[in-house]
């Protein structure tokens, strides 16, 4: 049953196998990225339970949910960092395999992982160019460090990050600075989709605003931005749409202009139930229903 007043309610089961749902911002050609029925077990824990998700080009989609709802797992599955047990991923309506971050990159996908995935003993400039080094002379793999530094300094300045020394190992940076390095890297290279898993969690007020500005800028370049955040005012300020995960399952979608913090929190906690069949009662879902993989 649809109990939420205004939001677009997810019809998880109804839409199974059907055409792409009417996602805002993607009316013309369907979502840029879509997950259908993704499931993922970690041992006996069902982290994703036939989760659906979609993100449209040129819009910011916030992915929200309580701790443990499966947000990071979903992002990892969609960015090639892990393989879902079952389900389908579509880019521009076409099913794709997403078996490695490299494969994701080929689809123009960049990710700021919650754990940042930086190389701690390399400096910020080298981290920014990880896998995309600039060489003086490629056959001999002679790095053009000054060029890498220059572009790193530019990228950080863009984010309002002042690094005293872009040549210092990343492990010597503060948590916020490290987060900024990860954000700068993703923003610099994303050409289609960027996932940001709590990119502002460790940031001070000024840098948080810079990151949000960057998110808007990237969005205005036509890129699909997927933002994970626990900060509801931030979500409503920057996102065009919101998708809610609960116990590994998408349970609601909202247009942010129509949504309130109370509604978002209600959907996250299950206080507002958006559909009868998404298993609010299935609580520790999956335990009983987990199956269907095995391969």
Using CB under 6 A as the criterion, which residues of the chain lie in contact with ligand ATP when the complex forms?
Answer: 42, 45, 47, 65, 67-73, 114
69 binds, among Mg ion, ligand ATP, none (CB under 5 to 8 A by kind): ligand ATP
CB of 65 to ligand ATP, least distance (A): 5
The HSE-up count of residue 25 (CA atoms within 13 Å, CB side) is: 24
- CB 157 to ligand ATP: min, Å: 30
Cα 232 off chain centre by? 16
Provide, rounded to whole angstroms, the least separation between the CB of residue 198 and Mg ion.
Answer: 7
Task: Report, in Å, the least distance between residue 27 CB and Mg ion.
Answer: 30
Residue position matching structure tokens 């809610």: 244
Indicate which of Mg ion, ligand ATP, none lies near residue 67 (CB less than 5 to 8 Å, by partner kind): ligand ATP
- Cα gap 38→86, rounded to integer Å: 6
Closer to ligand ATP at the Cβ: 45 or 153? 45
Q: Applying CB under 5 A, which residues contact Mg ion?
A: 71-72, 114
CB of 133 to ligand ATP, least distance (A): 30
**Residue 25 or 286 with smaller CB distance to Mg ion:** 286
**Is the separation of the CB atoms in 194 and 111 below 8 Å?**
yes
Nearer to ligand ATP, 73 or 273 (CB): 73
- Least distance in angstroms from the C-beta of 285 to Mg ion: 18
Residue 123 DSSP symbol: B
Residue with nearest beta carbon to Mg ion: 72
Contact, 262 vs 6, CB < 8 A? Answer: no
The C-alpha angle with vertex 193 and arms to 191 and 194, in degrees rounded to 5, equals 100
Nearer to Mg ion, 148 or 226 (CB): 226
45 binds, among Mg ion, ligand ATP, none (CB under 5 to 8 A by kind): ligand ATP
**Closer by beta carbon to ligand ATP, 25 or else 65:** 65
* Binding partner selected for residue 135 from ligand ATP, Mg ion, none, CB under the kind-specific 5 to 8 Å limit: none
Pairing of strands 224-228, 60-64: parallel
The burial class, CB within 10 Å (0-12 / 13-18 / 19+), for 128 is buried
Can you tell me the distance from the alpha carbon of 279 to that of 258, in angstroms, rounded to the nearest whole number? 25
Which partner from the list ligand ATP, Mg ion, none does 290 bind, CB cut-off 5 to 8 Å by kind? none
Measured from the CB atom, is 71 or 253 closer to Mg ion? 71
CB of 73 to Mg ion, least distance (A): 8
Residue located via tokens 């948590």: 175
Of 26 and 179, nearer to ligand ATP (C-beta) is 179
The long-range contacts involving 264-269, CB below 8 angstroms and separated by at least 24 positions, are 264/64, 264/232, 264/235, 264/236, 265/232, 266/4, 267/4, 267/7, 268/64, 268/65, 268/66, 268/69, 268/244, 269/66
């Amino acid at each position: 049953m649809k109990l939420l007043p205004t939001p677009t309610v997810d019809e998880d089961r109804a839409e199974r196998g059907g055409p792409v749902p009417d996602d805002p911002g993607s009316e013309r050609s369907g979502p840029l990225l879509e997950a259908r029925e993704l499931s993922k077990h970690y041992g006996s824990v069902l982290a994703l339970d036939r989760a659906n998700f979609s993100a449209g080009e040129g819009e910011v989609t916030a992915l929200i949910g309580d701790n443990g709802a499966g947000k990071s797992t979903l992002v990892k599955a969609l960015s090639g960092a892990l393989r879902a047990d079952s389900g389908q991923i579509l880019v521009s309506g076409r099913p794709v395999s997403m078996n490695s971050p490299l494969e994701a990159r080929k689809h123009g996908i960049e990710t700021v992982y919650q754990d940042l995935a930086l190389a701690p003993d390399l400096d910020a400039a080298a981290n920014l160019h990880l896998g995309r080094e600039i060489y003086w002379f490629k056959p001999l793999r002679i790095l053009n460090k000054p060029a890498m530094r220059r572009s790193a300094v530019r990228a950080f300045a863009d984010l309002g990050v002042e690094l005293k020394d872009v040549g210092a190992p990343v492990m010597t940076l503060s948590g916020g600075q490290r987060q900024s390095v990860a954000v700068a890297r993703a923003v610099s290279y994303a050409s289609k989709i960027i996932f940001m898993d709590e990119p502002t969690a460790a940031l001070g007020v000024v840098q948080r605003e810079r990151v949000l500005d960057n998110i808007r800028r990237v969005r205005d370049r036509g890129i699909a931005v997927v933002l994970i955040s626990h900060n509801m005012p931030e979500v409503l300020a920057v996102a065009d749409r919101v998708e809610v995960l609960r116990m590994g399952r998408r349970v609601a979608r909202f247009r942010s202009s129509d949504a309130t913090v109370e509604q978002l929190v209600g959907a996250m906690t299950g206080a507002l139930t958006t559909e009868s069949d998404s298993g609010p009662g299935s609580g520790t879902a999956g335990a009983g229903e987990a199956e269907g993989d095995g391969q």
